């Protein structure tokens, strides 16, 4: 679940022990299995509200708590267990009674709290009639996630992660990185420092040290980097109402190679068995 960028480098950075990272892996396993369950249900005609209800039941059956439900200000807490963001919605889409269509894309973002630790991951799905230009956006965005993760190692900086996404999506493929929303630290809270933008300079920003856990989440638009917030106080749209893609993993910084705590394997397996969806792969 992305957050608005404050433009201020974080100061309350929490490093996790090996045991804490394993607890976070368990929370992320519930997240990952929930997203796989959702992938098996997606079809034209089903609504976001129906998907959200099924996801909440699945999370609770696995002893977790939906991390997004009730999150935010007391005056306007997020009402769903999932963020369901279709087509031009970048993130924070509220589950609704709108029925999915054969040419929709939909980002489904899931957060789970399990035994005091949080997991967070997202995947953008494509229904069967999505056109090739949009599929290309999804593939490039998905690939950029893994390019970013490659930089999440001890001794590098947040700017190295940010640069990897921007270089690949904007400079190599001419898409647009959303500036107003960023990834974040995650642990005993859903959102911790530091912020993890998808644009920046190599060698800049907070230092990455072993035990830091980050939610890395490229949010990439086809036609503009500009966004606006709906009157509901949550839903973020691309300003030009063009398609937007979003993928996310929770990742532990390690000394030799980043440790991805969430997994998309359950999603990819479900997509293979769901004729309503197109398979999405990171672009080579």
- Domain boundary assignment for the chain: 3-278
pLDDT at 7: 61
Mean pLDDT of 266-280: 97
Mean pLDDT of 142-169: 98
Selection from 108, 110, 107 nearest residue 134 by Cα = 107
d(CA 213, CA 14): 8
pLDDT at 84: 98
Mean pLDDT of 145-170: 98
Q: Could you give the count of Cα atoms lying within 13 Å of 151 in the half-sphere of its Cβ?
A: 24
What is the share, in percent, of the chain residues with pLDDT greater than 90?
Answer: 94
Q: Which two tokens stand for residue 177?
A: 């990185």
> Which stretch of DSSP H or E encloses residue 221?
strand 219-221
DSSP state of 262: S
Instruction: Determine phi and psi for 26, rounding to 5 degrees.
Output: -65, -45
In this predicted structure, the answer to whether residue 139 has a pLDDT above a threshold of 90 is yes
- Under the banding of pLDDT at 50, 70 and 90, the label for residue 8 is low
Residue range 232-254, pLDDT digits in tens:
999 999 999 999 999 999 999 99
Mean pLDDT of 83-97: 98
User: SS3 for 108?
Assistant: strand
Mean pLDDT of 137-166: 98
- Under the banding of pLDDT at 50, 70 and 90, the label for residue 141 is very high
pLDDT at 80: 98
- Under the banding of pLDDT at 50, 70 and 90, the label for residue 4 is confident
Q: Which two tokens stand for residue 213?
A: 């856990």
- Burial profile 86-112: b = 16 or more Cβ within 10 angstroms, e = fewer: bbbbbbbbbbbeeebeeebbbbbbbbb
pLDDT at 12: 75
Residue range 94-104, pLDDT digits in tens:
999 999 999 99
**Rg, C-alpha atoms of the chain:** 17
- Asked if residues 39 and 264 have their Cβ atoms less than 8 Å apart, the reply is no
Least confident of 4-13, 29-38, 75-84: 4-13
Cis preceding-peptide flag for 194 (omega within 30 of 0)? yes
Mean pLDDT of 190-205: 97
Q: Which two tokens stand for residue 183?
A: 């990834």
What CATH topology corresponds to 3-278? Creatine Amidinohydrolase (3.90.230)
d(CA 187, CA 264): 20
Selection from 209, 270, 245, 210 nearest residue 34 by Cα = 270
Q: Can you give the pTM of this predicted structure?
A: 0.96
- Asked if residues 263 and 272 have their Cβ atoms less than 8 Å apart, the reply is no
d(CA 56, CA 59): 5
In this predicted structure, the answer to whether residue 10 has a pLDDT above a threshold of 60 is no
The Cα-based distances of 13 to 195, 203, 213 in angstroms read 10, 18, 10
- Under the banding of pLDDT at 50, 70 and 90, the label for residue 42 is very high
Give the angle subtended at the CA of 121 by the CAs of 115 and 127, to the nearest 5°.
135
The Cα-based distances of 117 to 34, 187, 220, 263, 269 in angstroms read 16, 6, 28, 17, 26
């Amino acid at each position: 679940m992305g957050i608005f960028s404050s433009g201020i480098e974080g100061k309350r950075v929490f490093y996790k022990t090996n045991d804490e990272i394993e607890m976070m892996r368990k929370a992320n396993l519930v997240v990952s299995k929930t997203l796989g369950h959702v992938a098996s249900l997606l079809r034209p005609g089903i609504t976001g509200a129906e998907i959200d209800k099924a996801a909440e039941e699945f999370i609770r059956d696995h002893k977790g708590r939906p991390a997004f439900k009730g999150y935010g200000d007391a005056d306007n807490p997020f009402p769903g267990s999932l963020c369901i963001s279709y087509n031009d919605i970048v993130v924070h889409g509220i589950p609704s009674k709108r029925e999915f269509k054969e040419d929709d894309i939909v980002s489904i973002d899931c957060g789970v709290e399990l035994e005091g630790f949080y997991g967070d991951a997202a995947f953008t799905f494509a229904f069967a009639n999505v056109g090739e230009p949009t599929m290309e956006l999804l593939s490039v965005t998905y690939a950029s996630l893994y390019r970013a993760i490659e930089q999440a190692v001890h001794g590098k900086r947040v700017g190295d992660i940010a640069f990897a996404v921007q270089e690949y999506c904007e400079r190599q493929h001419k898409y647009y990185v959303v500036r107003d929303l960023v990834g974040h630290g995650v642990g005993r809270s859903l959102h911790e420092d530091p912020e993890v933008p998808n644009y920046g300079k190599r060698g800049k920003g907070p230092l990455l040290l072993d035990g830091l856990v980050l939610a890395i989440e490229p949010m990439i638009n086809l036609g503009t980097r500009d966004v606006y917030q709906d009157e509901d106080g949550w839903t973020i749209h691309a300003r030009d109402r063009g398609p937007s893609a979003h993928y996310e993993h929770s990742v532990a910084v390690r000394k030799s190679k980043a440790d991805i705590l969430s997994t998309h394997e359950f999603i990819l397996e479900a997509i293979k068995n769901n004729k309503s969806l197109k398979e999405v792969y990171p672009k080579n």
